[in-house]
Amino acid sequence: MRRDGSPGAAALEAVCPVSRETYDRLAALVGLVVKWQKAENLVSPGTLDEIWSRHVADSAQLVRLFPQARTWLDLGSGGGFPGLVVAILISADGADGKVHLVESNVRKCAFLRTAARATGAPAEVHQGRIETVLASWAEPTDVITARALAPLDQLLGFTAHLIAPDRPAAFLKGVDYRAELDKASQTWALDLVIHDSLIGEGSVILEIHRAVRKAGARTSRP
């Protein structure tokens, strides 16, 4: 891996060591995010200076957690985190794989397509509301991901019909995840594994293998 000397690049190497070529592809993605950020709010402005650690390395830990997954479904893909990072990593050294990126914002879809072409990431962009796209979803899927998209109970409302023991969801959540779990548990019975984040102290990845709506419960809407 080619290091640029930044703490962010070191964070990526600690999570998921990559080749020089893969690092350069990730750097190209970072450059495009910075360029488009001026016109389109792809990431929180306060995190732009820490993009390698806060966004790239944070996304990369999903590949470390699911190293055998080849087909991914990423919801609310926005600035490409985690979807495009995952697509770049799973295609390293010419390996087969694909990431489906679901995004409702037309301009962000344009960014995702531009970035996928520029980085050679094996990604397909699906423009539309998540509930509409997923209602008829039939593509093979190994893992369902979302990051900074919606509260857990709403994410489960979108995805519960797709989650299965061999098709888990992996939702990246911040330090308030316990409150989200408490609220979601009022509506959903879950088979759940909680993984501590390797990047954000107090943050987690919620790995869900089953989500069943409890009798009489309703899911809140955005």
pLDDT at position 109 is 97
* Residue 2 belongs to some domain of the structure: no
Q: How far apart are CA 36 and CA 117, in angstroms?
A: 15
What band does 4 get if pLDDT is binned at 50, 70 and 90? low
What band does 212 get if pLDDT is binned at 50, 70 and 90? very high
- The answer to whether residues 27 and 43 touch, using CB atoms and an 8 Å cutoff, is no
* Residue 121 belongs to some domain of the structure: yes
pTM of the predicted model as reported, rounded to 2 decimal places: 0.93
* Residue 197 belongs to some domain of the structure: yes
Neighbours of 89 (CB within 10 A): 25
How many structural domains comprise the chain? 1
* Residue 218 belongs to some domain of the structure: no
Can you tell me whether residue 98 is helix, strand or coil? strand
pLDDT at position 6 is 63
If you write DSSP's letter for every residue of 152-221 in order, what string do you get? HHHHHHHHTTT-BTTB-EEEEE-TTHHHHHHHHHTTEEEEEEEEE-SSSTT-EEEEEEEEEEPTT-----
Q: What is the CATH number of the domain that holds 180?
A: 3.40.50.150
Q: Of all residues in the chain, what percent carry a pLDDT higher than 90?
A: 82
- What's the pLDDT tens digit per position in 10-44? 888 889 899 999 999 999 999 999 999 988 989 99
Asked if residue 2 has pLDDT above 70, the reply is no
If you write DSSP's letter for every residue of 107-136 in order, what string do you get? HHHHHHHHHHHHHT--EEEEES-HHHHHHT
* Residue 1 belongs to some domain of the structure: no
pLDDT at position 3 is 53
Neighbours of 216 (CB within 10 A): 6
pLDDT at position 14 is 86
Instruction: Output the six-digit token pair for 134.
Output: 């997923």
Mean pLDDT across 58-77: 97
Q: Identify the DSSP state of 39.
A: T
* Residue 221 belongs to some domain of the structure: no
* Residue 69 belongs to some domain of the structure: yes
Range of weakest confidence among 43-57, 61-75, 97-111, 175-189: 43-57
Residue 53, domain extent: 7-213
- What's the pLDDT tens digit per position in 96-127? 999 999 999 999 999 999 999 999 999 999 99
pLDDT at position 220 is 53
* Residue 85 belongs to some domain of the structure: yes
